[in-house]
Chains A and B, each alone.
Chain A
Amino acid sequence: MNEKRDLKIQAIENGTVIDHITAGQALNVLRILGISSAFRETISFVMNAPGARGKKDVVKIEGKELSIEELNRIALISPKATINIIRDFKVIQKNDVVLPSYVEGVVRCTNLNCISNSSEPIKSKFSVLQSEEEGVSLHCLYCEHVISEELAENLL
């Protein structure tokens, strides 16, 4: 059974494996990392894979080690994801994602009247806060609007 499951996604030689992604968020993880159809390396992913802690998504990006700053953005939509840096088929580094305190050009402000949604030459900027009651919230540094839901729907 294990053998069969492993066949779904091959081990990679060099690159980054993002594991324990909240089920259903794999495509948003690619968006948040700015990986589009122009990306030339091999990307493979599994969605809704059974794991010890319930269903999860996994993304494997070959030939590219993403920076910690880029990877930590994933915490906005999948706070329990883990990052594995692979070299020569071996995991040389494994980290949990850490929620960044500031994000730029990642999420669209949901206030339509915000200057960051106009044609000005600026990127959206948010400070990121986390509270037990309200979870993760983004505070727009231009208009002070707060986004606490639908983060994934508003990725740029």
Chain B
Amino acid sequence: MKDFSREEIDYVLDAAEKLEPVARGEERSRLLDGKIISLLFFEPSTRTRLSFEVAARRLGGQVLNLGSVEASSVMKGENLADTIRVISKYADLIVLRHPLDGSAQMAAEFATVPVINGGDGSVHHPTQTFLDLYTIRRESHLEGLKIAIAGDLKYGRTVHSLCHALSLYGAEMTFVSPPELRMPSEIVRGLRKQKIRVKETDSLEDIIEDVDVLYMTRVQRERFPDPDEYEKVKNSLRVTGDLLKAADPNLKILHPLPRVNEIAPEVDETPHACYFEQAFYGVPIRMALLALAMGVIE
């Protein structure tokens, strides 16, 4: 994500906005007519895979799925470099999801067709960041944004690149997390160096009155050696109807999904809830990225 300037990000978001009627099925497009998009997913990821598949189909493209890793040549010991070289001969574009960090970068070196990173290892998931930014732009505003990011800020891969991208827009950021899962200090330092206003707290009550967007993330049980500690944190970082009584009426709540306990079901029906629309915005964003990578839009 760090490869993109603010102008380039805006360019992708603008392209997504133009394609939104196609993503909603209101208009038809043949932009990827005759093109084959290969989805190489080496680990499960229903949402990302499905939204790429929908994006390709909405643009008139054909989708080639790898199928299960167990049944493929990977189980026979083929390395990723060879797999990429072979798939490059079959498809016009590769979307890769892989458990190792940096695998998309390597794939791009071996591929003879464009590669889109659908999430590699624990560090990168750029299309998620694009769709988060797009959701914020569509449902709130990127300019002069005050955002709180809550949950697992230590390990959450999407929040680190989201912070970097938001810093390009000068957003004011508040990080809400239990002490064990705080944002890594080098990221906080880096943001402050860029003159970004950053606050840290462990309570949603402290911030709810004063933010435009609340970005929730899941706190995973396996991060806590002590189950009691997990229970305590799980209940302290929870968005409820009660909490939202103090919120700005225009507050929007985002979540990359799946959620577990961190947003109470009663919130879904409020105008604050944006997370299902956010999941939809993954489609126009991925359509824009596919079309741009294939060079069928400028």
B111 CB → nearest A CB, Å: 13
Contacts of B103 in A (CB 8 A): 115, 142
B161 CB → nearest A CB, Å: 10
- The winner among B99, B106, B123 for most chain A CB atoms within 10 A is B106
- Are B81 and A114 in contact, with the CB atoms below 8 A? no
Q: Classify chain A: how many residues form its interface, as a range.
A: 10 to 19
> Which secondary structure characterizes the binding site on chain B?
mixed
Choose from A118, A121, A142 the contact partner of B105 (Cβ within 8 Å).
A142
Report the separation of the CA atoms of residues A145 and B100 in the bound assembly, to the nearest whole angstrom.
Answer: 13
Choose from A119, A122, A144 the contact partner of B106 (Cβ within 8 Å).
A122
In chain B, positions 149-178 with a C-beta closer than 8 Å to chain A are none
- Are B101 and A122 in contact, with the CB atoms below 8 A? no
Contacts of B79 in A (CB 8 A): 118-121
- Are A120 and B81 in contact, with the CB atoms below 8 A? yes
Contacts of B2 in A (CB 8 A): 144
Report the separation of the CA atoms of residues A147 and B280 in the bound assembly, to the nearest whole angstrom.
Answer: 38
Q: Classify chain B: how many residues form its interface, as a range.
A: 10 to 19
- The winner among B99, B100, B102, B105 for most chain A CB atoms within 10 A is B102
- Are B100 and A113 in contact, with the CB atoms below 8 A? yes
Contacts of B99 in A (CB 8 A): 113
Report the separation of the CA atoms of residues A146 and B124 in the bound assembly, to the nearest whole angstrom.
Answer: 15
Choose from B80, B81, B109, B121 the contact partner of A143 (Cβ within 8 Å).
B121
0/1 interface trace, chain B 67-91, chain A, CB 8 Å (1 if under):
0000000000001110000000000
Contacts of B121 in A (CB 8 A): 113-115, 143
Contacts of B120 in A (CB 8 A): 115
- Are A118 and B100 in contact, with the CB atoms below 8 A? yes
- Are A120 and B101 in contact, with the CB atoms below 8 A? no
- The winner among A115, A118, A122, A142 for most chain B CB atoms within 10 A is A115
| Closest chain A residue, CB of each to CB of B102 | A142
Report the separation of the CA atoms of residues A121 and B105 in the bound assembly, to the nearest whole angstrom.
Answer: 13
Asked if B122 is at the interface (CB within 8 A of a chain A CB), the reply is: yes
Asked if A140 is at the interface (CB within 8 A of a chain B CB), the reply is: yes
Asked if A128 is at the interface (CB within 8 A of a chain B CB), the reply is: no
In chain B, positions 112-169 with a C-beta closer than 8 Å to chain A are 120-124
Report the separation of the CA atoms of residues A121 and B110 in the bound assembly, to the nearest whole angstrom.
Answer: 10
A125 CB → nearest B CB, Å: 9
Asked if A116 is at the interface (CB within 8 A of a chain B CB), the reply is: yes
- Are A144 and B100 in contact, with the CB atoms below 8 A? no
Report the separation of the CA atoms of residues A121 and B121 in the bound assembly, to the nearest whole angstrom.
Answer: 18
Report the separation of the CA atoms of residues A113 and B120 in the bound assembly, to the nearest whole angstrom.
Answer: 10
- Are B106 and A111 in contact, with the CB atoms below 8 A? no
Asked if A30 is at the interface (CB within 8 A of a chain B CB), the reply is: no
Known contacts A144-B102, A144-B123; 4 additional CB pairs below 8 A are A113-B101, A115-B120, A122-B106, A144-B2
**4 tightest A-B contacts by CB?**
A142-B102, A143-B101, A143-B102, A115-B102
Residues of A participating in the B interface, judged by any CB pair closer than 8 Å: 111, 113-116, 118-122, 140-145
26 contacts between A and B (CB under 8 A): A114-B101, A115-B80, A115-B98, A115-B101, A115-B102, A115-B103, A115-B106, A115-B120, A116-B102, A118-B80, A119-B79, A120-B81, A122-B81, A122-B106, A122-B109, A140-B102, A141-B102, A142-B101, A142-B103, A142-B105, A142-B106, A143-B102, A143-B123, A144-B2, A144-B123, A145-B101
